Amino acid sequence: MTLPTLLVLDADPPPRLGRLTGRARIVHTDAGRLAERLPEADVLLVWDFASTAVRDAWPGEGSRPRWVHTASAGVDHLMCPQLAESDTVVTNARGVFDRPIAEYVAALVLAMAKDLPGTLQLQRERQWRQGESRRVAGTRACVVGSGPIGRAIARLLKALGVTTALVGRAPRTGVYGPDDLDRLLSRADWVICAAPLTEQTRGMFDERRFGVMQPSACFVNVGRGPLVDEEALARALARRWIAGAALDVFAQEPLPADSPLWGVRDLIVSPHMSGDTVGWRDELGAQFVDLFERWAAGRPLVNVVDKRRGYVPGH
Amino acid sequence: MTLPTLLVLDADPPPRLGRLTGRARIVHTDAGRLAERLPEADVLLVWDFASTAVRDAWPGEGSRPRWVHTASAGVDHLMCPQLAESDTVVTNARGVFDRPIAEYVAALVLAMAKDLPGTLQLQRERQWRQGESRRVAGTRACVVGSGPIGRAIARLLKALGVTTALVGRAPRTGVYGPDDLDRLLSRADWVICAAPLTEQTRGMFDERRFGVMQPSACFVNVGRGPLVDEEALARALARRWIAGAALDVFAQEPLPADSPLWGVRDLIVSPHMSGDTVGWRDELGAQFVDLFERWAAGRPLVNVVDKRRGYVPGH
């Protein structure tokens, strides 16, 4: 019996795949050798989920893996027309990041409502200066992105007493469609972006959309950097069109040290870590091993991405 | 008909008492003239809830107001044996601060779990450095203080998925008693102090109690400063007995600029503002006016403090 070849596009630390010992021939590669190794792979595990190497290497010559799994929720970094049009199945890490990202968004909303950054600044200056903070209960949120991450965010904000509207690609029960977006944005105290990056969503948070938000509104992006026109956001903050923002994702990652975004007033910058709670790598590894066991047994895979839409379609 | 005299120990800004026009003779005083004006007062409104002037002025000569209301939840700053033993009724601002303080505690718990202070520090240094944060769901909290503020904190932490134990002066349904405290502290990820300051609770968070907490535990005090041995807390943080702490209240307020607490590593210092959400002063004023209308109509007051215990007894 020939073992299937599992090609792993590695990152540090590598995945723990001990459970697959004797059940797969595991070949590790870096981005540089990915193209030459792709033809021998039955399965490709994209462990380095920040890499665009798959998108670059896929169009080449030779046979291609029948299944690609990425240890991320978004698939924008690996998708190319040739992969989208192929028979290869793409799966993602749906589920692992839902609750951690929801908690991170709740942390940001509460921190902005209570002006925790301002309090920490006064602490550094050893200044006792009391101010009034915002009550979160009774405020309104608009969560853009109705996948499992957006839904988890909406659930947690509701638990904090926030009236929350969820916006997706198309209206359905409990989800508003794009036609309602501007109206919801104009009334929201908190605008949360948790959408996948697709051709439809790229650049959706632009000057016009920041312009319809309330001067008291705060904006949070935990989706993908290119969903937001970063310069328009910086201008909106400088002009006080909105009161605050937090970005966990950026058009260019890592954010370069000379990016003006680091120093924008009322903007919280974090290094794409909203979903990274202790043990997250092990969870991602275990999720892939579970999927591999399904695949090896000939059972249907779950978390299968609609490659044209760019995400796992769901209810 | 003689109007009752309402003496207001003022703070800036003063209370909005327009609804009482024509229904009370309102006399404003500062701490310095409180003693000489007390004998003419039927009612005393302690609007400057940070002042200890009442405790100092009360034991003097002459008649005393029949009712004292303090625009605060705690009454430790005004209580003295002579007031406790008198027939004067004392009421407090029970209710106004519950939800705001609960939100502030939730903000601190999430900020510490996600290391938001560390993220803001890295932002100032323009450093992209990813780390793992803690998941809040599934952790354990011990909330000390089973009054309305403690219960509001417990409810909100539970809504975040935190298993929460409430500890009060005596065990009752849903509330643990002091005998369980050390065991609960030793298992808690989050220890929240929201107790009133009484002779029983003064200094309760001392070296021994920080010693039983887990090295991963974080401590939050939104009660009163003297509940905590501040030097023992600073040592516990320095020795890594616990992982972090946040103090909103202090033995001395305002915290002096030369206090070492401002600079303690892994300690968040805030200026006694956990309950101060936009509009809080108006809420406090409206609450007093409602009570005044009850009092003037001869109806029983609510929020009546048990002067010996030092808080409003409740279910």
Q: What is the pLDDT of residues A174-194, one digit of tens each?
A: 999 999 999 999 999 999 999
Percent of chain A predicted with pLDDT > 90: 97
Instruction: Kindly determine whether residue A160 and residue B277, on different chains, have CB atoms separated by under 8 Å.
Output: no
> What are φ and ψ of residue B31, in 5° steps?
-60, -35
* pLDDT tens digits, A271-285: 999 999 999 999 999
CA–CA gap between residue A153 and residue A158 (Å, rounded): 9
Helix boundaries (H) for A92-229 = 98-113, 116-124, 148-159, 181-187, 207-212
Of B130, B135, B276, the CB nearest to A103: B135
Contacts of A165 (CB under 8 A, 6+ apart): A140, A141, A142, A143, A176, A180, A184, A188
Q: How many CB atoms lie within 10 A of CB B80?
A: 16
Burial of B8 (0-12, 13-18, 19+ CB in 10 A): buried
Q: In this model, does residue A143 exceed pLDDT 80?
A: yes
CA angle B69, B70, B71 (to 5 degrees): 120
- Of B51, B16, B15, B12, the residue nearest B34 (C-alpha): B51
Structure-token match 């808690």, residue found: B188
How far off is chain B from A192, nearest CA to CA, in Å? 17
At B68, list the tokens: 């004292």
Is B132 close to A269, i.e. CB distance below 8 A? no
Residues 6 or more apart in contact with residue A181 via CB below 8 angstroms: A142, A144, A167, A209
* Average pLDDT in chain A: 96
Query: Chain B contact for A243, CB < 8 A?
Result: no
Looking at residue B1, its pLDDT comes to 66
Q: Does residue A110 belong to the interface with chain B, where contact is any CB pair within 8 Å?
A: yes
Q: Which residues of B are catalytic?
A: 224, 253, 272
Asked if B119 and A270 come within 8 Å (Cβ–Cβ), the reply is: yes
| Residue A267, beta-bridge partner list | A245
Which pLDDT score, from 0 to 100, does residue B49 have?
87
**Residue A196 structure tokens:** 């996948």
Asked whether the beta carbons of residue B130 and residue A276 sit closer than 8 angstroms, the reply is: yes
Structural domains in chain A, CATH included, are 5-95+279-296 (3.40.50.720), 98-269 (3.40.50.720)
Q: For the whole model, what pTM was predicted?
A: 0.95
Shortest Cα distance from B162 to chain A (angstroms)?
12
- The pLDDT score that the predictor gives to residue A1 is 67
Q: pLDDT grade, residue A315 (50/70/90)? A: low
Interface with chain A: mutation pick from B12, B96, B104, B116, highest number of A CBs within 10 Å:
B116
- List the one residue out of B180, B115, B170 whose CA is nearest residue B147: B170
The confidence score (pLDDT) of residue B251 equals: 97
Is B276 part of the contact surface with chain A (CB cutoff 8 Å)?
A: yes
Contact B107, A113 (CB under 8 A): yes
Q: Which chain B residues have a beta carbon less than 8 Å from that of A280? A: 132
Q: Is the pLDDT of residue A3 over 60?
A: yes
> Could you report the per-residue pLDDT of A47-89, keeping only the tens digit for each?
998 899 999 999 988 999 999 999 999 999 999 999 999 999 9
pLDDT above 80 for A156: yes
Per residue in B8-49, pLDDT (tens digit) is 999 999 999 999 999 999 999 999 999 999 999 999 999 998
Mean local confidence (pLDDT), A259-266: 98
Task: Check A254 against B128: CB less than 8 A apart.
Answer: yes
**Rounded-to-integer distance, Cα A137 and Cα B103, Å:** 8
Q: What proportion of chain A, given as a percentage, has pLDDT over 70?
A: 99
**B13 Cβ under 8 Å from any chain A Cβ:** no
pLDDT digits (tens, 9 = 90+) for A96-107: 999 999 999 999
Using CB atoms within 10 Å of the CB of residue A19, give its burial: 0 to 12 exposed, 13 to 18 middle, 19+ buried. middle
Chain B, window 43-102: residues with a beta carbon less than 8 angstroms from a chain A beta carbon: 99-100
Mutate to test the interface with A, among B72, B128, B164 (most CBs of A within 10 A): B128
Q: What average pLDDT does the segment A200-209 reach?
A: 97
Task: List the single best residue of A49, A103, A122, A284 to mutate versus B (max B Cβ within 10 A).
Answer: A103
Residues of chain B with pLDDT under 70: 1, 315
